[in-house]
């Protein structure tokens, strides 16, 4: 017996040594590749499609001293639009895992040892242009069997420095017909000329009030020591909020003759969001009159803006104000990249500053499920996490550069309490939260979580458990051949033929109603409806069993109808993306959907889809303009490969373009296609004139969409939002006088004058107000030009600093124009906020000054590089 035990121990020891040895070999390999294999990529030519794909060179260099032999190692990487699952000439294979996740791995015998010092050059095929650095994702990672995955060092961080410079038009063009090219520093300098001689109007308010009268000759000083606020019982929150923001004393009665007081009115001319702000500079008191709390709150915001701008010197003013649109919203996507509670609260504060009142909260998508549903715990147990796992039921696969671990913003959710914190914060500030649960498409996270729940139920069943938890199975297709599927997410559409799909939706809506009820009762739920891939349910077992053979569009229509039934039976209105209720070549009948109000969010305005907006309004839907061409703030703010953002709907959308939106004249906004080619609207809708909007009253507002594929960090999130959101708020609160001018040339002239006032105000006032609240934003890079031996610089917005570096960004100094000595120079230049640590990206400017003659050139425009140092400053 003793001897036998000895033997057993020995064997276990041997086995243990064997396992440890094996694991450590794999781990050693993973660690080695992560550290010593460096990645470099560049697109070959965005203007030439090969079999419909854009080719990209991926070079892997083995920079260490170890040869890498054939084996089970894999190098994972993410793609925004998808790549081809294919054998590569370099001896590797590029496999599609799921969604945007791919991995490179030795291709059987075709792989020869990857020797120390060697570089493998592979050509990969992309489904879309790669014309911007932010199209590429960071945090590639390596695995081998069950070794701990490691991030490839050369791909870490937000700099995306593994992508080579965009130094030719082949790399920065979005297709052959792209009309844009990046602006050179000189071109910027010339464009910014129109911003010369800025004017500061300290009493300008954004968004512009409906009516302002002022008398600059009646002036009073305003300082927080001498003034007080009279607490208002009717406007409890508003009066204390004002005291907090200004840091001013609040008393229950008038304790000084310099006071701000609230008056609750019952004036049938004032709507719930209207107010009257009266600044009596002679008597030295201020009154905010409103019928209801939202009005008082907006009066407070106007007053705060005036006080922050006026530098202690206030003039007599009377402001009567009311909004242009009832719906002034921001959609925040927390699924692609999670947004912690404190970012959301900060965004609500920013929304409040600019009188925005709807937070459309995109809580679910393929890449994540972000709200706790206590009755269905798997949704967050699995659906809120992204990590690399070899076993099911742990997390969703890494996406969008979230890397192998569950510690990034690929992972996260709002607990019921956290969500209530957001709700309360929003409700106090008169922001309605509209949660979005994406159905039936964009549901991979929920489907994965419910498949896992199903497997748990089956296990319980197999051991004879009687009380089985309810099933919420959402998808039950035949196994699909992933290799042959062109879809990024081959199984991401909730199955309309499964009864459990509807039980799931009902359960989730119950939970949302319950969470909202004590804080801000739920009125509207957004149920998604967009982008169901054609053929999504062709393999559905449930549809086969129930003998349902409808087109994808018809299936979806029947699904949306049932979802609307469920929602309306619970007293809810629904919101849907436009393609969710457009099954045929016209909007579905509004009567098909039982909810009293159906809010439609037209987003896809490419091609003649622009006409959908008018069609929906005329079919009785309430329309919230979410036009991807103007209001998708995941899109880039300039036609430059170094500018963060997407460009599928439009080549770029900057603040100026948002300011130019004309919500009442939909077709006037259609000027060019997504690569800048002019569009003739008269022949645009199937070659005919587009349908005229008969029911403008059904256009109820605007919404900026913050789809967050490329917003991993807080700075990236705010960089994409601001100052575009300020312009969007302006459009949704105020109808500009220029919008009503019929003559296009006159209209544009007047628009440009008003834009100039708006942008002067951004530079003098609003950006500092954002700085004060620690909200980042984008600053445009400076314009630069050498003129008569002086390096002339300018900025788009006034009141900013310019910094220069002559040591490739190691050190920076504030730049002031002066004569430059003879010599040749290489400068980096960037714009900086005067009141905060916000910088533009830097631009390179190389020039030479000779004693006899002046010459100037900037290296190819595409040499505008983002240096590591300026990045560190931006991030």
Q: From 356, 362, 323, 425, select the one nearest 726 (Cα to Cα).
A: 356
Is position 852 an interface residue for ligand NAG (rule: CB under 6 A)?
Answer: no
Farthest-apart Cα atoms in the chain, separation: 108
Structure tokens at 170: 């082949």
Question: Considering only residues 494-523, where is the footprint of ligand NAG by CB under 6 A?
Answer: 499
Least separation in angstroms between residue 773's CB and ligand NAG is 9
Task: Kindly tell me which of 384 and 732 has the beta carbon lying closer to ligand NAG.
Answer: 384
Residue 325 C-beta: closest distance to ligand NAG, Å = 26
Place of tokens 């512009």: 208
For residue 723, cis peptide bond before it (omega within 30 degrees of 0): yes
Is the CB of 295 or the CB of 639 nearer to ligand NAG? 295
Binding positions for ligand NAG, 396-425, rule CB under 6 A:
406
Binding segment toward ligand NAG, per CB under 6 A, in 202-210, 445-453, 478-486, 803-811: 478-486
Q: Measured in whole angstroms, how far is the alpha carbon of residue 676 from the centre of its chain?
A: 23
Which is closer to ligand NAG, CB of 415 or CB of 774? Answer: 774
The strand pairing partners of 269, in sequence order, are none
ω before 440 within 30° of 0 (cis)? yes
Q: Which is nearer to ligand NAG, 369 or 652 (CB)?
A: 369
| β strands within 252-362, DSSP E | 259-264, 275-280, 285-290, 313-321, 327-333, 358-362
Query: Should residue 774 be labelled a site residue for ligand NAG when binding is judged by CB under 6 A?
Result: yes
User: Judged by CB, which is closer to ligand NAG: 268, or 467?
Assistant: 268
- Is residue 531 part of the annotated active site? The answer reads yes
What is d(CA 305, CA 768) in angstroms, rounded to the nearest whole number? 11
Instruction: Give the interface segment with ligand NAG, choosing from 350-358, 364-372, 480-488, 637-645 (CB under 6 A).
Output: 480-488
CA distance 420 to 406: 24
Residue from the set 483, 818, 821, 852 that interacts with ligand NAG by CB under 6 A: 483
Pick 375 or 774: Cβ nearer ligand NAG = 774
Count CB atoms within 10 A of the CB of residue 242: 25
Is residue 93 near ligand NAG by the rule CB under 6 A?
no
For the CB of residue 339, give the shortest distance to ligand NAG in the complex, in Å.
12
Name which of 406 and 674 has its Cβ closer to ligand NAG. 406
Nearer to ligand NAG, 482 or 820 (CB): 482
Contact region with ligand NAG (CB under 6 A), list: 481-489, 560-568, 598-606, 803-811: 481-489
Using rule CB under 6 A, residue 484 touches ligand NAG: yes
* 390 lines the binding site for ligand NAG (CB under 6 A): no
DSSP 188: H
Question: Considering Cα of 750, then 752, then 754, then 757, what sign does the dihedral take?
Answer: negative
Catalytic residue among 418, 531, 539, 672: 531
The region of 108-116, 418-426, 479-487, 645-653 touching ligand NAG under the rule CB under 6 A is 479-487
User: Is residue 150 part of the contact set for ligand NAG (CB under 6 A)?
Assistant: no
Beta strand 285-290 with 275-280 is: antiparallel
- Report the alpha-carbon distance of residue 607 to residue 586 in Å, rounded: 15
Q: Which of 302, 371, 298, 382 is nearest to 338 (CA)?
A: 371
Nearer to ligand NAG, 545 or 813 (CB): 545
Based on the shown chain and the rule CB under 6 A, indicate whether residue 266 belongs to the binding site for ligand NAG: yes
Q: Which residues contact 596 (CB under 8 A, 6 or more apart)?
A: 568, 573
Least Cβ distance, residue 830 to ligand NAG (angstroms): 18
Residue by residue, DSSP assigns 56-101 as EEEEEEE-SS--B-SSSEEEEEE-SS-B--EE-TTSEEEEEEETTE
Site size toward ligand NAG (CB under 6 A) is 11
Residue ranges in 701-720 that form contacts with ligand NAG under rule CB under 6 A: 714-715
Backbone angles phi, psi at 83, to 5 degrees: -130, 175
814 binds ligand NAG (CB under 6 A): no
Interacting residue with ligand NAG among 362, 385, 386, 724 (CB under 6 A)? 385
Give the shortest CB-58-to-ligand NAG separation in angstroms: 22
Task: Report in angstroms how near the CB of residue 127 gets to ligand NAG at its nearest.
Answer: 16
Q: What angle do CA 189, 191, 193 make, to 5 degrees?
A: 75
Residues whose CB is less than 8 angstroms from the CB of residue 291 and which lie 6 or more positions away in sequence, other chains included: 264, 265, 266, 267, 270, 271, 272, 274
Question: What is the four-CA torsion angle of 83, 89, 93, 99, rounded to 10 degrees?
Answer: 0
- Judged by CB under 6 A, does residue 268 bind ligand NAG? yes
- Tell the smallest beta-carbon distance from residue 75 to ligand NAG (Å): 20
CB of 576 to ligand NAG, least distance (A): 24
Q: How far apart (Å, rounded) are the C-alpha atoms in residues 605 and 583?
A: 17
CA distances to 231, 291, 427, 515 from 424, rounded to whole Å, are 21, 22, 5, 11
Which lies closer to ligand NAG via its Cβ, residue 481 or residue 678? Answer: 481
Closest separation between CB of residue 714 and ligand NAG, Å? Answer: 4
Choose the stretch contacting ligand NAG; rule: CB under 6 A; options: 477-485, 524-532, 666-674, 801-809: 477-485
Of all residues in the shown chain, the one whose CB is closest to ligand NAG is 484
Tell me the catalytic residues.
531
| List of residues contacting ligand NAG (CB under 6 A) | 266, 268, 385, 406, 481, 483-484, 499, 714-715, 774
């Amino acid at each position: 017996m003793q001897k036998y035990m000895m033997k057993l121990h020995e064997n276990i020891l041997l086995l243990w040594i064997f396992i440890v040895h094996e694991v450590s070999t794999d781990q050693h390999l993973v660690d080695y590749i992560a550290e010593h294999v460096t990645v470099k990529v560049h697109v070959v030519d965005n203007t030439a499609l090969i079999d419909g794909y854009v080719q990209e060179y991926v070079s892997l260099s083995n920079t260490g001293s170890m040869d890498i032999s054939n084996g089970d190692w894999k190098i994972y990487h993410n793609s925004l639009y998808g790549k081809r699952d294919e054998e590569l000439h370099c001896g590797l294979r590029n496999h599609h895992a799921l969604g945007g996740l791919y991995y490179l791995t030795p291709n059987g015998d075709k792989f020869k040892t990857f020797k120390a010092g060697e570089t493998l050059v592979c050509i990969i095929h992309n489904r879309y242009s790669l014309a911007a650095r932010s199209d590429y994702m960071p945090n590639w990672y390596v695995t081998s069997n069950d070794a701990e995955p490691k991030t490839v060092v050369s791909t870490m961080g937000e700099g995306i420095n593994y992508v080579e410079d965009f130094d030719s038009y082949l790399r920065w063009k979005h297709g052959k017909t792209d009309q844009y090219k990046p602006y050179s520093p000189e071109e910027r300098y010339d464009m910014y000329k129109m911003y010369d001689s800025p004017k500061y109007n300290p009493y300008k308010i954004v968004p512009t009030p409906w009516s302002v009268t002022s008398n600059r000759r009646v002036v009073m000083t305003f300082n927080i020591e001498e003034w007080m606020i009279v607490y208002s019982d009717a406007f409890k929150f508003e009066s204390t909020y004002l005291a907090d923001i200004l840091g001013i004393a609040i008393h229950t009665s008038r304790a000084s003759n310099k006071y701000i007081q609230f008056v609750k009115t019952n004036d049938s001319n004032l709507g719930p969001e209207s107010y009257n702000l009266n600044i009596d500079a002679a008597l030295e008191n201020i009154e905010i009159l409103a019928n209801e709390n939202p009005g008082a709150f907006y009066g407070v915001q106007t007053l705060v803006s005036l006080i922050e701008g006026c530098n202690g010197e206030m003039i007599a003013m009377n402001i009567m104000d009311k909004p242009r649109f009832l719906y002034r919203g921001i959609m925040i996507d927390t699924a692609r990249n999670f947004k912690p509670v404190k970012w959301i609260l900060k965004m609500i504060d920013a929304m409040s500053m600019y009188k925005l009142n709807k937070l459309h909260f995109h809580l679910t998508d393929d890449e994540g499920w972000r709200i706790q549903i206590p009755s269905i715990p798997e949704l967050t147990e699995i659906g809120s996490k992204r990590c690399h796992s070899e076993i099911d039921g742990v997390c969703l696969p890494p996406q969008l550069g979230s890397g192998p671990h569950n510690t990034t913003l690929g992972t996260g959710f709002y607990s019921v309490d956290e969500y209530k914190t957001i709700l309360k914060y929003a409700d106090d500030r008169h922001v309605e939260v509209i949660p979005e649960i994406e159905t039936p498409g964009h549901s991979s996270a929920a489907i994965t979580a419910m498949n896992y729940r199903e497997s748990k139920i089956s296990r319980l069943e197999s051991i004879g458990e009687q009380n089985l938890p309810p099933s919420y199975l959402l998808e039950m297709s035949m196994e699909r051949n992933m290799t042959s599927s062109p879809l990024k997410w081959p199984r991401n559409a909730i199955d309309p033929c499964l009864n459990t799909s509807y039980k799931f939706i009902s359960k989730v809506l119950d939970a949302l109603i319950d969470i909202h009820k004590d804080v801000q009762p739920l009125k509207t739920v957004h149920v998604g409806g967009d982008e169901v891939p054609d053929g999504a349910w062709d393999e559905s077992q449930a549809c086969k069993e129930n003998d349902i053979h409808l087109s994808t569009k018809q299936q979806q229509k029947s699904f949306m109808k049932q979802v609307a039934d469920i929602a309306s039976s619970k007293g809810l209105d629904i919101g849907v993306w436009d393609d969710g209720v457009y099954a045929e070549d016209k909007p579905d009948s509004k009567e098909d959907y039982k909810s009293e109000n159906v809010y439609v969010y037209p987003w896809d305005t490419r091609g003649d889809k622009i006409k959908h907006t008018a069609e929906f309004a005329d079919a009785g839907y309430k329309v919230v303009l979410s036009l991807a061409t103007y209001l998708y703030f995941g899109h880039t703010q300039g036609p430059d490969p170094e500018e963060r953002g997407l460009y599928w709907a439009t080549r770029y959308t900057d603040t100026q373009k948002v300011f130019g939106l004309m919500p009442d004249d939909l077709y006037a906004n259609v000027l060019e296609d997504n690569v800048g080619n002019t569009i003739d609207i008269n022949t645009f809708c199937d070659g005919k004139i587009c349908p005229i909007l008969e029911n403008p009253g059904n256009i109820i507002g605007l919404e900026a969409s913050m789809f967050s594929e490329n917003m991993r960090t807080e700075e990236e999130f705010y960089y994409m939002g601001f100052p575009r959101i300020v312009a969007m708020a302006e459009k949704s609160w105020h109808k500009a006088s220029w919008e009503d001018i019929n003559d296009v040339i006159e209209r544009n002239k007047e628009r440009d004058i008003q834009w100039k006032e708006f942008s002067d105000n951004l530079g003098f006032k609003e950006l500092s107000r954002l700085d004060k609240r620690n909200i980042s934003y984008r600053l445009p890079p400076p314009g630069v030009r050498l003129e008569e031996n002086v390096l002339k610089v300018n900025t788009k917005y006034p009141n900013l600093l310019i910094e220069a570096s002559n040591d490739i960004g190691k050190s920076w100094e504030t730049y002031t124009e002066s004569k430059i000595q003879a010599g040749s120079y290489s400068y980096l230049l960037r714009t900086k906020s005067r009141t905060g640590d916000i910088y533009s990206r830097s631009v390179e400017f190389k020039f030479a000054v000779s004693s006899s003659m002046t010459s100037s050139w900037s290296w190819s425009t595409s040499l505008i590089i983002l240096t590591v140092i300026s990045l560190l400053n931006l991030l």
